[in-house]
Amino acid sequence: MVLFKRDDIIKIIETCQIKGQDEAIIRALMYLNLGYPIMLYGPPGNGKTTIAEHILRYASRGDDYYRMEATEGMTEYHTIGGFHPLSMSGNAELSRQFIYKDGIVTRALQENKNLLIDEFTRAPATAYSGLFMLLSTGVLHLEYRELTLQRPKDWVLVVTANLGDEGTFKMSAALKRRFIPIFIGYTSRFTEEKIIKSYTPGLQPVLINAILDFAEETRRLWQEEKSLPQGLSTDGVIKMARYCDISIEEGLDAKTAFIDSAMHQGVIIADETDYVSLQTVNELALKIASRL
């Protein structure tokens, strides 16, 4: 049975809040139709989580799905389950006993609910050591409960990841190959221009171009020269446009509004511990502002 038919795919794309990622969404839905778990990965701030949530809401007919945000303190206890002490009980006998608590993956399988694990690589690989058999064969063995769970029909698992970002763990090749990676990159200038105009329809064209120039150059500095840890995301572009718009309404001139917004976003995309990195984005902001 196909989970997403042609009409469903068209509707999902048309109603998605994130624009310019049509090809990635189509690929994701096609692989989900084949029964594979998918990993939406790419630079932060480009809509991976929003796309994942949109797909899962559609697949789950609403918000009836499980979601977990991975953290560095996660273990297999959180994903699969394990024994939990009753030490907080006021009963002395109970305080020395344990109960078995199911993890979120186990609960999702038992209740036939789809699952999103956001920021997948923020947790160490050991947190997912119990998933290998499930992702390969559709079977999850719960050793301590002497129970085997089958993956439900049309079950959807989506994870998001900022591969190579600060604070993330390296995935093992064995775990990585059990997902279909779908890249969510920077969208086109044309699409971002349309997005800016939808948020700030009255913003001057010269300012829109300056914001887009700033975004494109930061991405080039990241990808080609490696002088920045990341480029400006689409989310950052929107924030710059909205800040410029409201600043001008409050009486600030366009040039100053742009410099302010560019330097604010520059701190986010630069390495705050590296003066050269901060100086790079500040000089870029001033250079582009000189054209205004």
Q: Looking at the predicted structure, is the pLDDT value of residue 156 above 70?
A: yes
Q: Where among 148, 183, 218 does a domain terminate?
A: 183
- Report yes or no on 240 lying in a domain: yes
* Separation of alpha carbons 284 and 66, rounded Å: 43
> 211-214 contacts: CB < 8 A, separation 24 or more?
211/237, 211/240, 211/241, 211/244, 211/258, 211/261, 211/262, 212/237, 213/288, 214/240, 214/262, 214/284, 214/285, 214/288
221 and 175 share one domain: no
Last residue of a domain, one of 152, 183, 214: 183
Between 259 and 98, the higher pLDDT residue: 259
pLDDT at 147 over 90: no
Separation between Cα atoms, residue 9 and residue 102, nearest integer Å: 34
Nearest to 117 by CA among 78, 77, 83, 152: 78
- Cβ–Cβ < 8 Å for 49, 234: no
Residue 167 lies in a domain: yes
In 3D space, the residue among 261, 263, 265, 237 whose CA is nearest the CA of residue 18 turns out to be 237
Whether residue 101 is found in the same domain as residue 234: no
Q: What is the pLDDT of residue 157?
A: 97
Whether residues 165 and 21 fall in one domain? yes
How would you label 132-158 residue by residue, b for 16+ Cβ within 10 Å and e otherwise? eebbeeeebebeeeeeebebeeebbbb
- Give the CATH number, domain containing residue 168: 3.40.50.300
Q: What is the mean pLDDT of residues 162-167?
A: 74
- Does residue 1 lie within any of the structural domains? no
Instruction: Report if residue 141 sits inside a domain.
Output: yes
Report whether pLDDT(171) > 90.
Answer: no
Supply the range of the domain harboring residue 213.
189-289
What's the confidence (pLDDT) of residue 181? 96
Enter the DSSP assignment of 208.
Answer: H
Kindly state whether residue 250 falls inside one of the protein's structural domains. yes
Same domain assignment for residues 24 and 159: yes
Residues 157 and 218 in one domain: no
Q: How far apart are CA 287 and CA 262, in angstroms?
A: 11
For residue 284, being part of any structural domain is answered with: yes
pTM: 0.87
- Co-location of 148 and 227 in the same domain: no
Tell me the average pLDDT across 118-146. Answer: 90
Claim to verify: residue 130 and residue 19 sit in the same structural domain: yes
Q: Are residues 165 and 140 in the same domain?
A: yes
The answer, yes or no, to whether residue 164 has pLDDT greater than 80, is: no
Query: Cβ of 125: how many Cβ atoms within 10 Å?
Result: 14
Q: How many domains does the chain have?
A: 2
Average pLDDT over residues 168-175: 88
- Asked if residue 237 lies in contact with residue 192, where contact means CB atoms within 8 angstroms, the answer is yes
Q: Are residues 124 and 227 in the same domain?
A: no
Residue 148 located in a structural domain: yes
- On whether both 176 and 193 belong to a single domain, the answer is no
Residues 48-92: tens digit of each pLDDT: 999 999 999 999 989 999 999 999 999 998 999 887 765 555 666
Same domain for 63 and 173: yes
Residue 166 inside a domain? The answer is yes
Indicate if 177 and 193 belong to the same structural domain: no
* pLDDT score for 201: 96
With a cut of 80, say whether residue 141 has pLDDT above it. yes
Write down which residue in 153, 183, 213 finishes a domain: 183
